[in-house]
Structure 1
Amino acid sequence: MAKTKVGIIFGGKSAEHEVSLQSAKNIVEAIDRNKYDVVLIGIDKDGKWHLNNEDSYLLNAENPKLIELNKSNDMIALVPGESENQLIHAASARQLDQLDVVFPIVHGTSGEDGSLQGMLRIANIPFVGSSVLGSSVSMDKDIAKRLLKESNINVAKGLAYTRAKKPQINYKEAAEYLGVPMFIKPANQGSSVGVSKVSTKAEFEAGVEFAFQFDHKIIIEENLVGREIECSVLGNAEPKASLLGEILPQTEFYSYESKYIDEKGADLAIPADITNEMTKRMQEVAVNAFEALQCEGLSRVDFFLTDEGTIYVNEVNTLPGFTKISMYPKLWEISGISYPELISELIELAIERQQNDSMLKNTVWDH
């Protein structure tokens, strides 16, 4: 039986480029080679696509602070509308072998915000994870929280401002509404990129400037005091939730470095020390949030759990990290799905969705 040819797309132009490289490395090392052949496609920080060899696609692979994409001289391009051989070598226009499915592990903007997903849909290539709508609304924290609230899911109280509304941002008004400290975040970044915890007017103004460096819209949120709980969700039409994990930050908050670079930046309690009743409640909320945001394939749902037992959804991440200290695969491991099995299931879910989509009519009139 022929193996399924899986294209792993990684890197990208976002601030999470290096995290994506680490995620790709983990997937490449764990994928079942008895079932899958791997094609590596690295996107550099300029947005160019490189066809990479497995033995040389990364530089400084063991150092998360210095890891780099090893750019190849073999650039590739996409040909929209082709039913097969959608990818070609840019210099020669020679066709690349047909990919059966793509695992896009490009974190952040242009990777998990629906951009890459839309391109893959136009190319008619099955891909792992949420499609355009679920990806884009989950990436925008402002829009996601509006939809979650509409679904009667608790979220932090907050304010949202575009760059055009920047003159309206006022420390005193925000502090009176949200209290201090507050969090200031880019609306369309993940992994704590551009996030500040602020208590004073000077910190507030610096945090606003910092967040606007990463996005044209920012959100300012109240500081929720509670345990930081995470749940992994897997599936398409019938998603299932994993056991829960707890983040125990050793720094001021669970920052970008704590997640991906500083292994001592946070302790992970896996599984979380939570009652069975609360676990079931949070699993139900995780699945409800997954469905409310039109997610597919996989997502990690991040919660705050207060001492009073109130559950708040902080974020739904549609392409969570697959690094060696990432929560998503660890939670499925303790829930009974090994890392290689998880990758295989995600690939099968991608193919299943493509098959379901192919049954839809694309013409009004029958001929």
Structure 2
Amino acid sequence: MKIAVLYGGTSGEREVSLSTGKGIIQALENYGHEVVGIDFSPERLEEIIQLKVDLVFIGLHGKYGEDGKIQSLLDMLEIPYVGSGVLASALAMDKTKAKQIFASNGIQIAKSNSYSADLGITAIAEDVRKHFTPPFVVKPNQEGSTLGLTIVKQDHQIENALELAVKSDSTILVEEYVKGREMTVPVIGRQGEEQALPVIEIIPKNEYYDFDSKYKPGGSEHIVPAEIDQDLTVRMQEEAILAHQELGCKVYSRVDFIINEQNEPVILEVNTLPGMTPTSLFPDSAQEIGWSYDELIQKFVELSASEQRKTV
């Protein structure tokens, strides 16, 4: 197939996306595909509009990649692509909306409130003090890789945390801090036939799973499969598939949880375009069941082609 890989982009996750794109391009070439690599920018949309390819593999992360915007453009151009469509991408990126969907389906979430930046930092801080007691988390409603996130441990940090979050988004999410073990569950498959791959436990070297822990060499340790009991494993895998399905995701996603001090999984978010470097979490889990990185990328291509045939 002739496949275009979109990578790079303009979000705060650009560097990660460059690595993701490099890995995807190499894997596709190893399988004999003709690959066109595009360092995507919203200022150069003609590169997308003029594309003549069989499929687009989106290796972008964050805004303009994971939020449904590029998917919308590709839909209008009638170019098939790997992964979730416009609505699922937008819902997963909007943490507040996603949490409402999770809760309505019986998946445990952390208590949270969202605030429009138009209210002003002072008014937001006043309301936060009424409803939350440190420690709690302040973060942009639509951003990835923990960019703009602060764990507020003392009252005087609130305003600074809000100022940081508002640099990344016009809506701020404040949620209770859930202490526990970081877990993630990759999901893959045709719609209605998804399977969950082995659960991964993430042990960050820093205090929490921040940007450096995610992407710097040695920043975190991945334990695959996670050392938890079978009942908890099955529950998380089932809830990961349910979250993926209820958002309307396609082909693949990765669902993040924290196991709280009561040994219950609390869902954090669904990543519709998770990091896909050869050492990322999703490929680590796939390797546990015998799928190489190249095989995994090829599976995404085959699933996308099969979903496309189904809708034609």
TM-score for the superposition, normalised by structure 1: 0.81
Residue of structure 2 in register with 1:41 after alignment? 38
Task: Decide whether the 8 Å contact of 1:259 with 1:325 is kept in 2.
Answer: no
Residue of structure 2 in register with 1:258 after alignment? 213
Task: Decide whether the 8 Å contact of 2:125 with 2:158 is kept in 1.
Answer: no
Pick one of 65, 82, 86 that aligns with 1:128: 82
Task: Decide whether the 8 Å contact of 1:232 with 1:299 is kept in 2.
Answer: yes
Residue of structure 1 in register with 2:287 after alignment? 333
Q: Distance in 2 between matches of 1:239 and 1:165?
A: 41
Q: Percent identity?
A: 36
**Deviation of residue 350 (structure 1)?**
1.5
Q: Does 1:29 align with 2:26?
A: yes
Q: Relative contact order (C-alpha < 8 Å, sep 6+): which is higher?
A: 2
Q: Distance in 1 between matches of 2:48 and 2:40?
A: 13
Deviations 1:208-239 (A, max 9, x none): 00000001111011010111111100123111
Q: Aligned pair in 2 of structure 1 residues 250, 175: CA closer, same or farther (>3 Å)?
A: farther
Pick one of 5, 9, 13 that aligns with 1:12: 9
Farther-moved stretch of structure 1 (107-116 vs 330-339): 330-339
DSSP 3-state at the match of 2:30: coil
**Deviation of residue 106 (structure 1)?**
0.9
Task: Decide whether the 8 Å contact of 1:10 with 1:106 is kept in 2.
Answer: yes
Pick one of 271, 274, 289 that aligns with 1:317: 271
- 1:254 maps to amino acid: Y
CA RMSD of aligned residues (A): 1.6
- 2:208 maps to amino acid: F
Q: Does 1:77 align with 2:32?
A: no
**Deviation of residue 42 (structure 1)?**
1.1
- 2:239 maps to amino acid: V
Task: Decide whether the 8 Å contact of 1:32 with 1:340 is kept in 2.
Answer: no
Q: Does 1:242 align with 2:197?
A: yes
**Deviation of residue 176 (structure 1)?**
5.1
Task: Decide whether the 8 Å contact of 2:109 with 2:267 is kept in 1.
Answer: yes
Residue of structure 2 in register with 1:218 after alignment? 172
Task: Decide whether the 8 Å contact of 1:138 with 1:317 is kept in 2.
Answer: yes
Task: Decide whether the 8 Å contact of 2:24 with 2:59 is kept in 1.
Answer: no
**Deviation of residue 159 (structure 1)?**
0.9
Once the two structures are superposed, the pairs formed by residues 103-142 of structure 1 within 5 Å of their partners are 103-142=57-96
DSSP 3-state at the match of 2:198: strand
Unaligned runs of 5+ in 2: none
Residue of structure 1 in register with 2:308 after alignment? 354
Pick one of 125, 131, 140 that aligns with 1:170: 125
Q: Distance in 2 between matches of 1:300 and 1:121?
A: 23
Q: Distance in 1 between matches of 2:239 and 2:262?
A: 17
Task: Decide whether the 8 Å contact of 2:112 with 2:174 is kept in 1.
Answer: yes
Residue of structure 2 in register with 1:363 after alignment? none
**Deviation of residue 356 (structure 1)?**
2.2
Q: Distance in 1 between matches of 2:273 and 2:299?
A: 15
Residue of structure 2 in register with 1:200 after alignment? 154
- 1:357 maps to amino acid: T
Q: Does 1:179 align with 2:133?
A: yes
**Deviation of residue 316 (structure 1)?**
0.5
Task: Decide whether the 8 Å contact of 1:26 with 1:323 is kept in 2.
Answer: yes
Q: Distance in 2 between matches of 1:334 and 1:307?
A: 27
**Deviation of residue 175 (structure 1)?**
4.5
Q: Aligned pair in 2 of structure 1 residues 38, 215: CA closer, same or farther (>3 Å)?
A: same
Q: Distance in 2 between matches of 1:250 and 1:122?
A: 44
Task: Decide whether the 8 Å contact of 2:251 with 2:304 is kept in 1.
Answer: yes
The structure whose Rg is larger is: 1
